[in-house]
Amino acid sequence: MTQRVKFYQTGTFTVGNRLLDAESRTVQATVERNNSLTSGHRACQGCGEALGARYAVDAAMRACNSQLLCVNATGCLEVFSTPYPESSWRVAWLHSLFGNAPAVASGVAAALRAKGRTETRVLAQGGDGGTVDIGMGCLSGMFERNDDVLYICYDNEAYMNTGVQRSGRTPPGARTSTTPAVGPHPGNVFGQGKHPAIIAMAHDIPYVATASVADLHDLEEKVTKAMSIGGARFIHVHVPCPLGWGSEPCNTMRLARLAVETGLFPLFEGEHGEVISTTPIRRRQPVEEYLKLQKRFRHVIGDPQALAAIQALADRNIRRFNLVRENAA
Amino acid sequence: MTQKKPFAITLDIGSSLANHTGSWRTERPVYVHRMPPCNNACPAGENIQGWLHDAEEGRYEDAWHTLTADNPLPAIHGRVCYHPCEDACNRGQLDTSVNIHAIERFLGDEALRQGWKISCAPQTGKRVLVVGSGPSGLSAAYHLRRLGHAVVIYEAGAEAGGMMRYGIPQYRMPRDILDAEIGRIAGLGVEFRLNSKVEDLEETMDAERCDAAFIAIGAHLAKRVDIPARDAGGILDAVSVLRGVEKGDAPSFIGRRVAVYGGGNTALDVARTAERLGAKEAMLIYRRTREQMPAHDFEVAEALEEGVQVHWLSTIAGVEGAKVKIEKMKLDENGWPQPTGEFETLEADTVILALGQMTDSDFLAQVDGVKISKDGVVEVDAGMMTGRPGIFAGGDMVPAERSVTVAVGHGKLAARNIDAYLRGTRFEHAPRPELATFDRLNTWYFTDADKTRQAQLDMARRLSSFKEIVQGLDEETALFESRRCLSCGNCFECDNCYGVCPDNAVKKLGPGQGYEFNYEFCKGCGLCAAECPCGAIAIVPEQI
Ligand SMILES: Cc1cc2nc3c(=O)[nH]c(=O)nc-3n(C[C@H](O)[C@H](O)[C@H](O)COP(=O)(O)OP(=O)(O)OC[C@H]3O[C@@H](n4cnc5c(N)ncnc54)[C@H](O)[C@@H]3O)c2cc1C
Ligand SMILES: Cc1ncc(C[n+]2csc(CCOP(=O)(O)OP(=O)(O)O)c2C)c(N)n1
Ligand code: SF4
Ligand code: SF4
Ligand SMILES: [Mg+2]
C-alpha cells in the first residue's frame, strides 16, 4: 500500500511551494521577479488590477528576456502608476490615450519591425472600458491585421478611474454610478454584455485566453504561452476592485476565486478561433457566495428572481465551457 | 530636488519608490506563530507541527530531534499513545486528521534503526533520585539528564518500563522497541537500580546523596468489589494476570470461557490476552453502554473484531463455581445504571476483575508535608511538587488522566521544575500563543488527500500469538502523510503573502528564513493575511 509521493500539501495552488522543484513554482515566487509595477503606486488598498498587471507583465518580462515595451491605455492602471513625471513602471512604457492603445501598440510593433528589432516584444494593456468599449475599433483592427502585439485587458467591470461608471463588462444587476440600485429593475440591465475573448476568437487570431488574478499559475502559463507566439494575441484577466465593487480590500483574491468557482468567469484558451482548453472548477459555489461580499449586489441578495437569473448565467457558462468535471481536483 | 517645476507638475521625475504608501495604513499585518491544535492537545507537549514540518522535507533526523526535545519515547508513543492530537487536528474538519501517531512511530523506529543520538548539557554536579521506571520516571530522568543533572532510578521490578511492560500487552507494545527506547535513556548515563523497591524515601535520598526526588510509582493495586462467591479461587485481577503473562508465570490454564468485569482499556487488554492464552470465549461484563465505556473506540473495535463479546448494562451479582450470575441494568434519567431485578446466568471458568487501580503510596505517609488522598493518590502543585519542597511526583499516582503520554508530560514538567529548584529559580511556562483554530485557515489552497491507513496483521495470526497487530508506514507513505499537515498557525513558506501583495511590500528572505513586511509601502489591505493558508499572519490596529 505504498503511496507514490505525488502530494505536496498545497500542490501548485499556492504562489510557491517549498516542496516543489523550482520549475514548478511561479515567477512571482522568485526573488528575481522584475516587480514591473513597483511599490509606491497609488492604487487603492487591495487593488486587483495592480496585482494582475504585476503578475502579467512580470511573466511577460521573464518570457522575452526583459526585451519588452508596454503601451498603456488611460484608466486606473495608468493613473495610479504614473502621475507624470513619476512612475512605478520598471519596464519601457508608453501612454497615449484612452481608446487608442491597440493602435499605438500596432504602430510600435511596426516601427520595431522596420528597425529590425525583432527581439523586442510589444505588450498593450488597458481596463475593460478602454478595451471593450472605446478601444474596440482599433483592437479589432489590430486583431484583423494580426499585428505582433499581446493585448491584455484587466477587467474590473466598470470605468473605475472616473468614478465607477457602467461599461460593456458591467455584469447584470450590478450597481454603478450610472446604473443605480433604484426602480423596478435596479442595477445594470440583464440581457446583453460583451465577451471580449469570444470577440477576439471571432477574428481567428493565433491565441486568446481568459485568466484570473486568483489563479496565478494558470495566468502565468497563459502569458508565457502567448509570448511564445507571434501575431495578435489577447488575454482577458478578471481583477476585482474593492472601491467599485464595495468589497473589503482583503477579499480581492477570494472574490476573484469565487467568480471562477461559481462559473461567472470561465477560464479558457482558444487558438485560431477554437476553444482548445477550459479550466475546470475545483470547488463549485453558488453565485450568492460571490455576490454577498459586494455592496454593488446588495439589492440582488434579497431578490430571488435576480439571484436566479445570475445563477442561470453561471450555469450556462458551466455547460458551455464544460467547467464541472469528475476528479477535477 | 527643489528646482522650479513646470505648470501643474508637483512631483519629481523618478520612481514611485519616493511615495511611501505605508502612511495610508490603519492596520498592519504581522507574522505570528499560533498554537496548532495538535500541539495544544498533546499531553507530552510535543511540537507536532514543528516536527511534521521537518519530516515534510524528508529531514527525518531533524524531525526526530524536534520531537525528542519533548518526548524521549516516540517509537513507544507511535504505538500506544491515544493520540488526542488527532482528535484535535484541523485537517479532520477538511477530510480526515493527519495520521500523526503513525509518523511518530516511523520516526521512532527510524531512530532506532539508524542509532540517532541525543546529547546532554555539561554536568551540573546535582543528583536526582527517581522512584519508578514507568514512562513518567523515564521521562523525568531523560529530561534531567539532558539538563546536565545526574540521575539514579530505583525500580521495584526486575525490569524497567512500568505498565508499558507489565500492563500493555505485546501485541500493542513489542518489547524489543520498549527495550531499545529505555536503553537509549540508560545510554545517557542514567543509573538504574532494578529490584530495588524504595521503602524509606529520605533514607534512600541520603544514601544516594540526591538533592531532589521525583516519585512515579504508578497505580498497581487492583481495586476489588465484594462479589458473593462460593469459590473465590476462580476470581483474578487484570493487572496480576497481565503482569504474570509478562513474567512468564501466567496461569497455565486460563479456562475455556473467561469473563472480564469492567469497561476500561485494561478490561479489553486482559480479555484479548485471555484469547491469546487459549480461551475460546472471552466476554466483557460492563455496567453501562458502549458510548459510556472509558475504553477508546479503536480498542473496542479491535476487541470486537477479535470476537470478544460484551454484555452491556450488566453487573456481576454472584459467582458460584463456573456459573456467573449477572443482573441487567437500566440507565436512569441522569445516565446512571440502576438495577432492574432481572438476572441471567453465564458460564465462565475464570472471572477477571478490571475495575481500576490504586497507588501503593503507604511509604510516603512518613514523609513530612506529602498529602495522600483517596486510593493512595498524591497531591502535587502546578509544578508537580508535593507538599514537601524538593520532592516531586507525577504519572498515574497523581490526580490526572492515566496514560503513558500524560505520564511523560508530567515527567518533563517535573524535570523543568526540579531543574529550577536545584538552581534556586522558578520555572516559567513560555506564554501560550493564541490557538490556530480552523477558521484561521484558508483551506482552499490545500490539495485533497485522504489519510493513509496502517496495515494490520491478519486475524488468524493475531489470535494465535502476541505479535504486533498494527504495522508501520514505509518511508514514502510516511512522507505523504506528513505532507497532509496544514501547518496550522505557522508559516510553511508557500510564498502566498509574497505573491499576493499588490504593493510588493513583502520581502522574501530565502529558504528557512521566512518573510518580512516592508511597512514603508504596506497599505494594510490585509490580502496577505486573508490568503495565508495556515493563519500565520495577524492584522493588528496601527497606533495612530
Ligand atoms: C493493561 C493496561 C493497558 C494500558 N494501555 C495503555 C495505552 O495503550 N496507552 C496509554 O497511554 N496508557 C495505557 N495504559 C496506562 C499507562 O500504562 C499508565 O498510565 C502509565 O504507565 C503510567 O506511568 P507511570 O510512570 O506513572 O507508572 P507505571 O508505568 O505504573 O510505573 C511505575 C513503576 O514504579 C515502580 N514502583 C512502584 N512502587 C515502587 C517503589 N516503592 N520503589 C521503586 N519502584 C516502584 C513500579 O514497579 C513501576 O515500574 C495502560 C494501562 C494498563 C494497566
Ligand atoms: C476619450 C476619453 N474619454 C474619457 C476619458 C476619461 N476616462 C479616463 S479613465 C476612464 C475610465 C477607465 O475605465 P477602464 O478602462 O475600465 O479602466 P479602469 O479605470 O476601470 O481600470 C475614463 C472614462 C478619457 N481619458 N478619454
Ligand atoms: S479604483 Fe479599483 S482598479 Fe482603481 S486603483 Fe482602486 S481598486 Fe484598483
Ligand atoms: S493539520 Fe498539522 S498542524 Fe494542523 S492540527 Fe493537524 S497535524 Fe497539527
Ligand atoms: Mg474598468
Q: How far is B10 from chain A (nearest CA, A)?
A: 9
Residue B2: what pLDDT?
A: 56
How does the average pLDDT of chain B come out, rounded?
Answer: 95
CA distance B52 to chain A (A): 12
DSSP B248-298: T---S---SEEEEE--SHHHHHHHHHHHHTT-SEEEEE-SS-GGG-SS-HH
With CB atoms and an 8 Å threshold, state whether A87 touches B448. no
Q: Is A49 close to ligand 3, i.e. is its CB under 6 Å away?
A: yes
DSSP letters along B390-459, please?
TEEE-GGGSSS--SHHHHHHHHHHHHHHHHHHHHT----PPPPPPB--GGG--GGGSPP-PPPPPPB--H
Residue B314, classed as helix, strand or coil, is: strand
> Which is the CATH superfamily of the domain at B127-220+359-423?
FAD/NAD(P)-binding domain (3.50.50.60)
CB within 8 Å of B347: residues ≥ 6 apart: B257, B322, B323, B324
Residues found in chain A: 329
B527 neighbourhood in chain A, CB within 8 Å? 46, 249-250, 252-253
Judge whether residue A45 has pLDDT over 70. Answer: yes
Question: Distance from first CA to last CA of chain A, Å, rounded?
Answer: 22
> Which of residues B97 and A7 earns the better pLDDT score?
B97
Residue A185 CB partners (closer than 8 Å, separation 6+): none
ipTM of the complex: 0.96
At B232 the pLDDT is 63
Q: What is the pLDDT of residue A328?
A: 47
The string of DSSP codes covering B130-174 is EE--SHHHHHHHHHHHHTT-EEEEE-SSSSS-THHHHTS-TTTS-
Contacts of B505 in chain A (CB under 8 A): 39
- The nearest alpha carbon in chain B to A327 belongs to B448
- Which pLDDT band, with edges at 50, 70 and 90, does A6 fall under? low
pLDDT of amino acid B229: 77
Our CA-based measurement puts residue B119 at a distance from the nearest CA of chain A, in whole angstroms, of: 30
Among candidate residues A42, A78, A85, A14, the one with its CA nearest the CA of residue B502: A42
Q: Taking the domains of chain A in order of start, what are their residue ranges?
A: 15-321
Tell whether the model's pLDDT for residue A153 goes beyond 50. yes
Which of B330, B344, B339, B340 has the alpha carbon at shortest distance from B259? B344
Sheet with strand A68-72: strands edge to edge: A92-95, A68-72, A121-127, A150-155, A233-238, A207-212, A268-271, A274-278
Of B297 and B517, the one with more pLDDT: B517
Query: Residues A139, A151: contact at Cβ < 8 Å?
Result: yes
Closest-CA residue to B417 (of B384, B370, B379): B384
- pLDDT confidence of residue A1: 35
A1 to chain B, any CB pair closer than 8 A? The answer is yes
The predicted-structure confidence for B200-229, as pLDDT tens digits, reads as follows 999 999 999 999 999 999 999 999 888 887
Burial environment of residue A29 by CB neighbours within 10 A (0 to 12, 13 to 18, 19 or more): buried
Stretch B293-315: mean pLDDT: 93
Ligand 4, CB cutoff 6 Å, lining residues:
B 36-38, 48-49, 52, 89-91, 98, 100, 485-488
Instruction: Tell me the per-residue pLDDT of B457-506, one tens digit each, with 9 for 90 and over.
Output: 999 889 988 999 999 999 999 999 999 999 999 999 999 999 999 999 99
Q: Pick the range with the lowest mean pLDDT from A6-15, A32-41, B170-179, B351-360.
A: A6-15
B498-501 long-range contacts (CB < 8 A, ≥24 apart) are: B498/A15, B498/A16, B498/A28, B498/A29, B499/A14, B499/A15, B499/A16, B499/A26, B499/A28, B499/A29, B499/A216, B500/A15, B500/A51, B500/A253, B500/B527, B500/B528, B500/B531, B501/A51, B501/B527, B501/B528
Res A327: pLDDT: 59
Report phi then psi at B454, rounded to 5.
-90, 140
Q: Does A67 touch chain B (CB under 8 A)?
A: no
| Range with the poorest average pLDDT among A242-256, B192-206, B230-244, B319-333 | B230-244
Contact A46 B527 (CB under 8 A): yes
pLDDT single digits (tens) B360-372: 999 999 999 999 9
| B7-33+490-541: CATH architecture | 2-Layer Sandwich (3.30)
Give the 3-state DSSP-derived string for chain A, with helices as H, strands as E and coil as C.
CCCCCCCCCCCCCCCCCCCCCHHHCCHHHCCCCCCCECCCCCCCCCCHHHHHHHHHHHHHHHHCCCCEEEEECCCHHHHHHCCCCEECECCEEEECCCCCHHHHHHHHHHHHHHCCCCCCEEEEEEEHHHHHHCCHHHHHHHHHCCCCCEEEEEECCCECCCCCECCCCCCCCCCCCCCCCCCCCCCCCCCCCCCHHHHHHCCCCCEEEEEECCCHHHHHHHHHHHHCCCCCEEEEEECCCHHHHCCCHHHHHHHHHHHHHHCCCCCEEEECCEEEEECCCCCCCCHHHHHCCCHHHHHHHCCHHHHHHHHHHHHHHHHHCCCCCCCCC
Q: What pLDDT sits at residue A7? A: 73
Torsion sign (Cα): A55, A60, A65, A70: negative
- Cβ contact (<8 Å) for B499 and A50? no
CA nearest B26 in A: which residue?
A45
pLDDT recorded at residue A2: 38
Q: What's the confidence (pLDDT) of residue A5?
A: 40
Superfamily of domain B37-117+441-482: Alpha-helical ferredoxin (1.10.1060.10)
Torsion region of B115: left, alpha or beta (phi above 0 gives left; psi -120 to 50 gives alpha): left
What are the C-alpha distances in Å from B472 to residues A323, B85, B107, B181, B462? 41, 19, 10, 17, 16
- Given a cut of 50, whether residue A176 has pLDDT beyond it is yes
Average pLDDT over residues B512-526: 97
Q: Which long-range contacts (CB under 8 A, 24 or more apart) does A243-246 make?
A: A243/A44, A243/A160, A243/A164, A244/A156, A244/A157, A244/A158, A244/A160, A244/A164, A244/A176, A244/A296, A245/A156, A245/A157, A245/A294, A245/A295, A245/A296, A246/A294, A246/A295, A246/A296, A246/A298
Region label for B106, one of left (φ > 0), alpha (ψ between -120 and 50) or beta (otherwise): alpha
Q: Which residues contact B171 (CB under 8 A, 6 or more apart)?
A: B272, B276, B462, B465, B466, B467, B468, B469
Are both B7-33+490-541 and B223-357 of the same fold? no
Q: Is pLDDT at B240 greater than 50 in this prediction?
A: yes
pLDDT digits (tens, 9 = 90+) for A309-326: 999 999 999 999 999 987
Flag whether pLDDT at B233 surpasses 80: no
How far is the C-alpha of B515 from the C-alpha of B531, rounded, in Å?
Answer: 15
Query: Which of A14, A32, A33, A58 to mutate to probe the B interface, most B CBs <10 Å?
Result: A14
A289 touches B at CB < 8 Å: no
B47-50, Cβ contacts within 8 angstroms, sequence gap of 24 or more: B48/B85, B48/B100, B49/B485, B49/B487, B49/B488, B49/B489, B49/B490, B50/B490
- List phi, psi (to 5°) of B326: -115, 145
Say if the Cβ atoms of B16 and A40 lie within 8 Å. Answer: yes
d(CA A92, CA B352): 87
CA–CA distance, A242 with B149 (Å, rounded to integer): 61
* B469, B456 Cβ separation under 8 angstroms: yes
**pLDDT > 90? residue B113:** yes
Query: Helix %, strand %, coil % for chain B, to 5?
Result: 35, 20, 45
pLDDT at B61 over 50: yes
**Mean pLDDT across A234-253:** 98
Phi/psi for A114 (5° steps) reads: -60, -35
Share of chain B above pLDDT 90, in %: 88
- What separation in Å is there between the alpha carbon of A16 and the centre of ligand 4? 20
Beta pairing class for B27-31 and B127-131 = unpaired
What number is the average pLDDT over the span B433-457?
Answer: 93
Q: Does A312 touch chain B (CB under 8 A)?
A: no
Between CA A212 and CA A220, with CA A215 as vertex, the angle to 5 degrees is: 90
| CATH code of the region B223-357 | 3.50.50.60
Ligand at minimal distance from the CA of B409 is 1
Give the SS3 label for residue B227: coil
What are B502's three cell numbers?
A: 499588490
Name residue B57's amino acid: E
Q: What is the pLDDT of residue A148?
A: 98
Distance separating alpha carbons of residues A309 and A161, to the nearest angstrom: 29
Residue B231 has what pLDDT?
67
Are residues B483 and A8, on separate chains, in Cβ contact within 8 Å? Answer: yes
| B252 band by pLDDT with thresholds 50, 70 and 90 | low
Residue contact A39–B16, C-beta within 8 A: yes
Looking at the predicted structure, is the pLDDT value of residue B86 above 50?
A: yes
| Residues A5, B480: C-beta atoms closer than 8 Å | yes
What's the rounded Cα separation, in Å, for the pair A202 and A270? 10
CB-defined site of ligand 2, < 6 Å: A 49, 74-77, 98-99, 126-130, 156, 159-162, 167
**Over the stretch B274-294, which tens digit does the pLDDT of each residue have?**
999 999 999 999 999 999 999
Measure the CA–CA gap between B107 and B56, rounded to whole angstroms.
Answer: 12
Q: What is the pLDDT of residue B225?
A: 84
- The answer to whether the Cβ–Cβ distance between B447 and A11 falls below 8 Å is yes
Taking residues B72-87, report their average pLDDT. 98
What cell numbers appear for B426 in the block? 522558578
Choose among B104, B105, B99: nearest CA to B449.
B99
Strands A268-271 and A274-278: antiparallel
Q: Is B341 helix (H, G, I), strand (E, B) or coil?
A: strand
Report the C-alpha gap between A96 and A124 in whole angstroms: 11
Q: Which residues, other chains included, contact B298 with Cβ-Cβ below 8 Å and sequence gap of 6+?
A: none
Mean pLDDT of B439-446: 97
User: A15-321 adopts what CATH topology?
Assistant: Rossmann fold (3.40.50)
Nearest to B417 by CA among B406, B425, B408, B405: B425
- Is B41's pLDDT higher than 80? yes
Task: Give chain B positions within 8 Å (CB) of A45.
Answer: 24, 523-526
Q: What is the pLDDT of residue B264?
A: 93
Average pLDDT over residues A213-234: 98
Indicate whether residue A160 lines ligand 3 (CB < 6 A). yes
Cell 495604513 sits on residue: B25
